Amino acid sequence: MFSGRSVEIAFSHIWATPPGATVAQLHPVEQVVNAYNAKNTGVKVASRVDSTVYIESLQKAQADMAAGRPPALVMTPWAFINFADAALNATNLEDIAPPGELDTLLANMSPAAVDLVTLNGKRKGFPYALSCPVIYYNNDILKKAGVEPAALFKDWASFAELGPKVRAATDAPIIGVGTNSDWPAQSLIQSAGGRILNDDNTPALDSAEAITAMKTIADLNKAGLWSTATLQENNAAFSGGTLPMFMASVAALGGFRRSLSFDFNTSTFPLFAGKPRRMSAGGSYIGVYAKDKDQQAGAWDFLKFAASEEGTKIWLQTGYLNATKYQVPTLPGQESAYTQFNEGLTRETAWPGRRGAEASRVWDGYVQRIWSNDVGVEDGLKQAKAELQTLFSQG
């Protein structure tokens, strides 16, 4: 039981539950909150969705902090860990956990997941929503096209060769992205042998390897295989059975399993021939922003439940990967994500400085322009690098 006085804490996240949902249809994060509140610990967690987009949710939290009303807990993307530390004054878990309790909590977590929230030797939050991009595919359409998934997704050369057969069955682009474009772009560039930032946080995204990776998608677009629609439009098209393939987070799997009526599955990303796959972790961690001691104590008490076996089993109905050592059955379709996890996930690019969130948006915009051939690959990467260098120089 919580040993402090009664306290209510705000937990800001991006997972909205549709209006009129039954208790069973509540998003798993709401189910976790409800299960905790039912224990009557003396801490009441108020779940709130300020936006279904991470950056907008963080901006609202930042405004609340400036007004002296920081939410106790905010889902914070891995990519913004430096930004949260520099601009939002995130609270280290070491500063709120009673002696010995943090070590006990982290002992049940995957070391790889703990590394994702570690900055300068401190734990900047609790690793919670761990994901990676996968390719969802409509098996009915691939069967109609006479294309075997294993052959199509073997490597990017095979995808470019067999993709036109799939397009012939749909007479439309066959694959699009259903997330922020810079995230799968990082995985592609890394898998081609490149990287987004050097160890000293200088941009490295105009290398020969990065050019190869980005040209792969730009060429798919030139061939009429790539959808340049928005992520929301691509999501709707895949869910409606018209877009055969869809790059998105494995976290969408639980919702797709509940809502889609056609035969679908997931695949690992195709390889670049002769090179290992190096995918980027995605998702977010629970950052603590409370400054009041009672709020901090309440936040810690809730984190302990979220990290427990009971809380974990509720949460993993989503499709997110298991960041703990608890044995929780995998969902059908998670196999490809766990293959990539076991190959070794890197942290989603942690943009440096107080303008890190802006840097993320700049790069995402260039990725979209390059993939749609609005700007040439080499020119686009050079321009992106120059803009990012300017932002980084400004702190």
Domain boundaries, the chain: 7-130+283-337, 133-280+350-393
Class for domain 133-280+350-393, per CATH?
Answer: alpha beta
User: Domain 7-130+283-337 in CATH: superfamily?
Assistant: Periplasmic binding protein-like II (3.40.190.10)
Taking phi over 0 as left and psi of -120 to 50 as alpha, with beta for the rest, 49 belongs to beta
Q: Are 96 and 299 in contact (CB under 8 A)?
A: yes
- Total Cβ atoms within 10 A of residue 281: 27
Per-residue pLDDT of the chain (395 residues), as tens digits, is 455 579 999 999 999 887 888 888 889 999 999 999 999 999 999 999 999 888 888 889 999 999 999 999 999 998 889 888 888 889 999 999 999 999 999 999 999 889 989 999 999 999 999 999 999 999 999 999 999 999 999 999 999 999 999 999 999 999 999 999 999 999 999 999 999 999 999 999 999 999 999 999 999 999 999 999 999 999 999 999 999 999 999 999 988 998 899 999 999 999 999 999 999 999 899 999 999 999 999 999 999 999 999 999 999 999 999 999 999 999 999 999 999 999 989 888 988 888 888 999 999 999 999 999 999 999 999 999 999 999 999 86
* Pair of tokens at residue 245: 């393939």
**153-173 burial, b for 16+ CB within 10 Å, e for fewer?**
bbbbebbeebbeebbebeeeb
Beta bridge partners of 378: none
Q: Are 206 and 199 in contact (CB under 8 A)?
A: no
Q: Which amino acid is at 329?
A: P
DSSP letter (8 states) at residue 250: G
pTM of the predicted model as reported, rounded to 2 decimal places: 0.87
| 7-130+283-337 and 133-280+350-393 have identical folds | yes
